[in-house]
Structure 1
Amino acid sequence: MSNPLLKRIPILLLAAGSSSRMGQSKQLLLVNGKPLLQKTVEELLAANTGKVIVVLGANATAHRKIIEDYSVFIIKNDQWQNGMGSSVKAGLKYITSQLPDSNALIISVCDQPHLTNVHLKELIRTYSKSEKSIVASAYNNTFGVPVLFDRSHFEALSQIQDEEGAKKIIQQNLTNITSVPFPLGDIDLDTMEDYDTFSQ
């Protein structure tokens, strides 16, 4: 990844949710001996792209302690209860004001235990070679996160409703998407049953 333009792609990690279906913080669940939030941040940093921005909300104090020693910028979204869209907009506001030369951004979430820096690098590599402005992860016959958006979509992302996620922008631009296979991307940890199955 010697192209300096590809170093200007920040990663926005959405980790503000309360894990209500889980009954406890999924960000603190141990995966390979580490809290899931920590493991995810390490993979994002290892992708060696632009700055990593982490949006926290529920249980922000406990979650901050896990990652405060890493080279990430932490945003606390006090409106996290309004929905994922509010966290997307909080992170995007920071990117457009503090990282105005960003060529694109990657939106990732904190409940995909199989996410690796290799997959993130492949999103960026695909973007660098494609004329498409969105590079999504492909799994379970759909497009999802992590997803890379060219800066041409920043304005639309800034206008999504709080209860909406970036999926709306994906659905509005299906002819302008390319994808990278992520077969294990649909394995997420939303419930204790999910976690127990994953841990077996």
Structure 2
Amino acid sequence: MLSELTASAATSSVALILLAAGASTRMGQAKQLLYFQGQTLLRRAAETAVATGCQPLMLVTGALHEELVAEIDDLPFLVTRNPDWAAGMGSSIRAGLAALEKAPQPPSAVLIMLCDQPLVTPALLLTMIKQQQASQAPVVASAYGGTLGVPAVFSADSLPALRQLGGRRVRGKLLLVMVILLVACRFRGAFLMWIRPPNMPLCWKMTWGSKLRRIQICQLNH
């Protein structure tokens, strides 16, 4: 089933940006290089991205660069470093979009994903791409934790609004961009909170998404 989805030529016109620029200051260590089921979060997300068939694949680094590049060196990623990573996620999205402008062909859509959502699967991302292509929605976003967010697929027409994002409170601004939202995919388990109890190893806590009203929900239980 997954191979049939991956084989779809439609995904080859969709670009993918994997955001991994943060410093994880609240955790005290690089979140991108934490292990989950035998892989670093970055490696797991990168392999998930490759499996979608999206082209090109763009990794945005920032606080860390060489260490992250080494993790995906054997994968078909382009890499750009965001020198303004401390300004927040919006600056990394802009850096990724700017790097994509150098591609030979403009993408029909751009999928944006994070490296710290290890329950995201290729099937989920491919379903979101198919939803966007079938509906021609400007945005197909994930619904979880009572809000909307990434992974999300943005049509080419919606990219100018993304380029206007800036500052640290970009998640709220993404919601404003998604005022034009037509389709949302409810992803159970997408929202991960990282907690470190005193004197205990790092552990995981999962928060399940809640149903949003007034928008179309596509139930995905991956």
Instruction: Settle same-fold status: TM greater than 0.5.
Output: yes
Deviation at residue 80 of structure 1 after TM alignment: 0.7
Task: Output the aligned Cα RMSD.
Answer: 2.1
Q: Out of 123, 138, 150, which is 1:118 matched to?
A: 123
Letter paired with 2:136: E
User: Paired residues, what number?
Assistant: 198
SS at match of 1:112: coil
Match of 2:196 in 1: 192
Task: Tell me: CA distance 1:156–1:79, structure 2 relative to 1, closer, same or farther (3 Å).
Answer: same
User: Higher strand fraction: Structure 1 or Structure 2?
Assistant: 2
Q: After superposition, give the CA deviation of every residue in 1:62-99 in whole Å (9 maximum; x if it has no partner).
A: 11111111111111111111111111011001112325
TM-score norm. by structure 2 comes to 0.81
CA contact (8 A) 2:193 2:204 kept: no
SS at match of 1:179: strand
Give the Cα–Cα distance (whole angstroms) in 2 for the partners of residues 22 and 150 of structure 1: 34
Give the Cα–Cα distance (whole angstroms) in 1 for the partners of residues 58 and 196 of structure 2: 27
Q: After superposition, give the CA deviation of every residue in 1:160-200 in whole Å (9 maximum; x if it has no partner).
A: 224343652442443433011211111244x435951359x
Give the Cα–Cα distance (whole angstroms) in 2 for the partners of residues 9 and 134 of structure 1: 13
Match of 2:102 in 1: 97
Q: Out of 14, 32, 37, which is 2:37 matched to?
A: 32
Deviation beyond 6 Å, 4+ runs, structure 1:
none
Give the Cα–Cα distance (whole angstroms) in 1 for the partners of residues 122 and 204 of structure 2: 24
User: Higher helix fraction: Structure 1 or Structure 2?
Assistant: 1
Q: Would you say 1:65 and 2:70 are equivalent positions?
A: yes
Q: Would you say 1:143 and 2:148 are equivalent positions?
A: yes
Q: After superposition, give the CA deviation of every residue in 1:115-139 in whole Å (9 maximum; x if it has no partner).
A: 1111100111111211321000111
Between 46-55 and 169-178, report the one with greater CA deviation: 169-178
TM-score norm. by structure 1 comes to 0.90
Task: Tell me: CA distance 1:177–1:188, structure 2 relative to 1, closer, same or farther (3 Å).
Answer: farther
CA contact (8 A) 1:112 1:188 kept: no
SS at match of 1:138: strand
Q: Out of 131, 137, 161, which is 1:132 matched to?
A: 137
Task: Tell me: CA distance 1:100–1:169, structure 2 relative to 1, closer, same or farther (3 Å).
Answer: farther
* Structure 2 alignment gaps of length 5 or more: 207-222
SS at match of 2:191: coil
